[in-house]
Amino acid sequence: MAKRTTNNTTRSAKALRHALIVVIATICIVTAVIVGVVRLSARWLAGLSSSTVTQDTSSYCMAKQTDGVMSYALSAEQSANAALITAIGVTRGLPDHAATVALATAMQESKLRNLEYGDRDSLGLFQQRPSQGWGTVEQLMDENYATNAFYDGLVKVSGWESLPVEDAAQEVQHSGYPDAYAQWDGLARAWAQSLTGEVAAGVGCKLPDADASDPDGLIAALQSAYPSVSGSRADGNKGDSPVTAVFTMPADLSGDNLRRAVWQTSTWLVVNARHYGITKIEANGMVWTRADTAWTGTEKEGDVVTVTFA
């Protein structure tokens, strides 16, 4: 009898060890799967991690809320994309709210970067999906096409003009995380107010010294963004004189419409200053230079914006 008990005990011990081995192996497999998923997610999210100032603190742009309490910083790349999105809304004749909704959406979806990847087949500024009828991969990687596609969807939403930012964005995007857009409301409003010209001198950029310039490229790009604004070079007569360009607002504008046009143009110019080698911008009695993050001077009426290049 004692021998049978010993055998039973031995078999029980072996069974227990086997069960423990199975449990440990299962835990290891599950852990490996979780770690793999986390790593893959981290790779994708790495492209979306910079929501404000990048590690390169020598180059960034700041937009202030109208109450001056908060400022929102973006990289040069993010700022230029924000200006592009806003300019398209303005030239389409859409209310300022459209730019706010679009900027909040692009911040949530791509952090205002034209990404070549995303969840499933999502890509571009707004992470639109070719498989969902938004367009081809080539089309959606074109910032102009992608932005117009977003606005096309927005204007189809009934009553979008009075919807909260996050609700309007969700009606277009149909995201699995509908509440996420709300976190960018303050940033989107501050940037939209300046880029639409509602707020004067609302965005300034701090940039390193320019070592090259492209006046002709700038003139062409600005007139593509705002076709009604005329631009021309006004270079000095002497070789040591700085290269300048002058942008003139449409003659039929006056009052607040003229003021808005000046600051739409000036803000677009300042966020694109790094790319085109701009060193100074003068608009309505105020001045911006690369060394500062804010405009200086006292605003007055005017219809011309002057740009100086490196």
At 166 the pLDDT is 97
The tokens of 292 are what? Answer: 């500062």
Residue 52 forms part of a structural domain:
no
At 80 the pLDDT is 96
At 17 the pLDDT is 60
Q: Is 50 helix (H, G, I), strand (E, B) or coil?
A: coil
- Check whether residue 187 and residue 89 sit in a common domain: yes
Task: Provide the 8-state DSSP code for 293.
Answer: S
Residue 54 forms part of a structural domain:
no
At 28 the pLDDT is 46
The whole model's pTM is what? 0.81
At 41 the pLDDT is 34
- Check whether residue 96 and residue 150 sit in a common domain: yes
The range of the structural domain enclosing residue 105 comes to: 60-195
At 49 the pLDDT is 37
CA 33 – CA 31 distance, rounded (Å): 5
Q: Is 272 helix (H, G, I), strand (E, B) or coil?
A: coil
Q: From residue 161, how far is each of 101, 168, 245, 281 by CA, in Å?
A: 10, 8, 37, 33
At 6 the pLDDT is 45
Domain boundary among 151, 170, 195: 195
Q: What is the CATH number of the domain that holds 67?
A: 1.10.530
Residues of the chain with confidence (pLDDT) below 70 = 1-56, 68, 236-240
- Check whether residue 167 and residue 71 sit in a common domain: yes
What total number of domains does the chain contain?
2
